[in-house]
Structure 1
Amino acid sequence: MERYNEITNKNQREIVLLQGRPCAWGKCFFCDYIDDNSRDTEAMVRLNHQVLSRVTGKFGVLEVINSGSCFELPQETLEEIRALVREKGIQKLYFEAHWMYRHRLEQMRQFMGIPIVFKIGVETFDWDFRENYLNKHADFHTAEEVRVYFESPCLMVGIQGQTKEMIARDIELLKKYFPRGTINVFTNNSTPVKRDEALVEWFMKTYDWLLEDPSVEVLYEKTDFGVGD
């Protein structure tokens, strides 16, 4: 599995895929990504050190992802990231966190001592689809609620059961309320959730302009950031 890459098109940065404890929620219906975790703290710390040793600081920006939220990384790894920030002159971090951690984001900002862009897996702003089908366990009702805490929502498109209207509204809210965002085109995995090929084709044609939008990153494959498998 590749765990380090450089993103050189939009929002240039280094990105690392680290290993943390199991996702605190871990029950999203569509997700098998959470399998990349461990309960062996020493092994996680060793692996994460090997990955972080590749960071150069060349862009001054580092994104850290894991199969859950940044708060599930070992404390030793978080301390190593903080030291790396200072050593390499990193000026901005990207982290991801579940809605349940929204009240701890400022704590992480204070710990790291530099600006952090927090991503959140919204998947969709449609409450019924998000909670009753995707089982996201994120009970906000409006985009404005999310924006109070997070700068960068991650949306998912191309799932059977979604509609064009739902996707159009999601993108409208993303552009209206957030300075940046990520759109993941759903890829079939080991879960029962399935990709809607017609919906994906419609999205890629209708929203091809997003490929040129500097504030939105569209991931057609889950490995488009160059990490994972």
Structure 2
Amino acid sequence: MDRYSKITNKNKREIVLLKALPCAWGKCRFCDYIEDNSRDRESMITLNRDVLSHVTGEFGVLEVINSGSCFELPKETLTDIRTVVREKHIQKLFFEAHWIYRSRLDEMREFFGIPIVYKTGAETFDYHFREHYLNKHADFRDAEELSRYFDSPCLMVGIQGQTKEMIQNDIRLLKQFFKLGTINVFTNNSTDVKRDEELVKWFLEEYRELEHDPSIEVLYENTDFGVGD
């Protein structure tokens, strides 16, 4: 499992994949990432401390991810991150949080004392597909409502049941309401959600220009950020 990497093509930053307590929701239909969660606090703290020791501060920007939300990281790990921020002169953090934490985002901003870019797994702006098929438990009604809380949504494309029109609308709304975003091309995993190969092929051809869009990062594989397994 790779847990430290550098992103050097868009929005240069270091990135760490840490271990955390179980995801507070943990019922998204498409997600098996939560298998990286743990209840062994001591081992998590030790592992996370080792991963954080690789941070150099080279870009002044650090992204911290885990298999859930940043609020599920142990308090000791949050303190370790703050120490790294201060010692390595980190000027900006990227964190990810589920919609259910939207009222608590300022807690992290106050704790770290530097700007935080909040990512969130929106998956799609199509309410019915997100809530009734993907079981995301993120009941925002539209992109504008989500943008009141979060800076950078993560969308998924290439799932059986999606349509070209849904993807086109998602990308249009992403660019309309957000300065940053991530698009994940779905990869089959241990869940019953399946990849639509024809839809993926269409997306890759139709949105080839996104490779050159500095505001949108496209992940063709789960490990494209250099972390994960």
Same fold flag (TM > 0.5): yes
Secondary structure class of the residue paired with 1:146? helix
Quick check: 1:9 aligned with 2:9?
yes
Task: Give the drift of 1:20.
Answer: 0.1
Secondary structure class of the residue paired with 1:94? strand
Q: Distance in 1 between matches of 2:93 and 2:54?
A: 16
Q: Distance in 2 between matches of 1:144 and 1:82?
A: 31
Secondary structure class of the residue paired with 2:21? coil
Structure 1 segments, 4+ long, off by >2 Å, are none
Name 1:20's counterpart in structure 2.
20
Name 1:60's counterpart in structure 2.
60
- Pairing 1:100-179 to 2, within 5 Å after superposition: 100-179=100-179
Name 2:214's counterpart in structure 1.
214
Q: Distance in 2 between matches of 1:34 and 1:152?
A: 21
Q: Percent identity at matched positions? A: 73
Instruction: Give unpaired runs (5+ residues) of structure 1.
Output: none
Task: Give the drift of 1:83.
Answer: 1.0
Q: Distance in 2 between matches of 1:205 and 1:53?
A: 40
- Pairing 1:85-104 to 2, within 5 Å after superposition: 85-104=85-104
- What is the letter of the counterpart of residue 195 of structure 1? R
Task: Give the drift of 1:19.
Answer: 0.2
Q: Write the deviation string for residues 130-149 of structure 1: whole angstroms up to 9, x where unpaired.
A: 00000000000110110001
Q: Distance in 2 between matches of 1:3 and 1:115?
A: 23
CA RMSD of aligned residues (A): 0.3
Q: TM-score, normalised by structure 1?
A: 1.00
Q: TM-score, normalised by structure 2?
A: 1.00
Q: Distance in 2 between matches of 1:159 and 1:38?
A: 28
Task: Give the drift of 1:97.
Answer: 0.1
Secondary structure class of the residue paired with 1:44? helix
Q: Distance in 2 between matches of 1:104 and 1:50?
A: 28
Quick check: 1:182 aligned with 2:188?
no
Q: Write the deviation string for residues 128-183 of structure 1: whole angstroms up to 9, x where unpaired.
A: 00000000000001101100010000000000000000000000000000000000
Q: Write the deviation string for residues 81-105 of structure 1: whole angstroms up to 9, x where unpaired.
A: 1111110000000000000000000
Q: Distance in 1 between matches of 2:107 and 2:49?
A: 23
Q: Distance in 1 between matches of 2:124 and 2:206?
A: 18
